[in-house]
A and B are shown apart, each in its own frame.
Chain A
Amino acid sequence: ETGVTQSPTHLIKTRGQQVTLRCSSQSGHNTVSWYQQALGQGPQFIFQYYREEENGRGNFPPRFSGLQFPNYSSELNVNALELDDSALYLCASSLRTSGQETQYFGPGTRLLVL
């Protein structure tokens, strides 16, 4: 167990709707990253938050947005859902130090857009 939790586990939405996914980081971790994983593919980086600020963003449109809270939990929001947004959404927490950091993943949220 990594101590990283995500909710909900599964979600079904229709095209055009909005969704919020939640992540609770491992205790002591200050960084959270979000990834999208399509079926049969490796995870793709969406964005990362450190001390409540976005640190970097992958090739995803602005309708993908996020938040990190003072307790280091995090949200991923997706507006105007499209069919291609159907995927497994993963959050990963890590402790940023001067050296290497290891990202530990939660169980994921499976999103289906109809």
Chain B
Amino acid sequence: EDQVTQSPEALRLQEGESSSLNCSYTVSGLRGLFWYRQDPGKGPEFLFTLYSAGEEKEKERLKATLTKKESFLHITAPKPEDSATYLCAVPHPIIQGAQKLVFGQGTRLTINP
């Protein structure tokens, strides 16, 4: 079964202090990797999909990158509103044409003003 591991479990930064979150995966064949943001008590909000090693995507202060074994979510000059849990997930086939998402446990990010 595909496995996804995120680190660190929790990260506390000062406003403006840049850092990176890690998502490592073990899959039989990479079919993409998804990043979501989740605020407390709410559903995950889609951020990015990456499909191949070397691919990068950016959105505001976030940049996601992908290698053959892991993905990084880089956050540059974060603001308090970036505080959330960040989840990564890989698609796993269930039957032909159908897939489920296998999630990591998430990284809880707190940005202090």
Docked-complex contact A108 and B98, CB < 8 angstroms: no
Q: Which residues of A contact B57 (CB under 8 A)?
A: none
CA distance A106 to B38 in the complex (A): 11
Mark the stretch among B66-74, B76-84, B102-110 that contacts chain A.
B102-110
The 0/1 profile, CB within 8 Å of B marked 1, for residues 88-103 of chain A is 1010100010001111
Q: Which residues of A contact B41 (CB under 8 A)?
A: 88, 108, 110
- Contact among A31, A42, A90, A102 with B43 in the assembled complex (CB-CB below 8 Å): A90
Docked-complex contact B95 and A55, CB < 8 angstroms: yes
Docked-complex contact A90 and B32, CB < 8 angstroms: no
- Contact among A33, A50, A105 with B45 in the assembled complex (CB-CB below 8 Å): A105
Distance between B103 CB and nearest chain A CB, rounded to angstroms = 3
The 0/1 profile, CB within 8 Å of A marked 1, for residues 30-48 of chain B is 0110101000011111100
Known A42-B87, A107-B43: A100·B104 in contact at CB below 8 Å: no
Known A56-B95, A100-B32, A102-B34: A108·B43 in contact at CB below 8 Å: yes
Cβ-closest chain A residue relative to B1: A59
Distance between A48 CB and nearest chain B CB, rounded to angstroms = 6
Q: Which residues of B contact A45 (CB under 8 A)?
A: 100-102
Docked-complex contact B94 and A55, CB < 8 angstroms: yes
Q: List 9 A-B contacts (CB under 8 A).
A: A6-B43, A33-B100, A40-B105, A43-B103, A90-B44, A100-B49, A100-B91, A103-B34, A108-B43
Binding site for B on A (CB under 8 A): 2, 4, 6, 31, 33, 35, 40-45, 48, 50, 55-56, 58, 88, 90, 92, 96, 100-108, 110
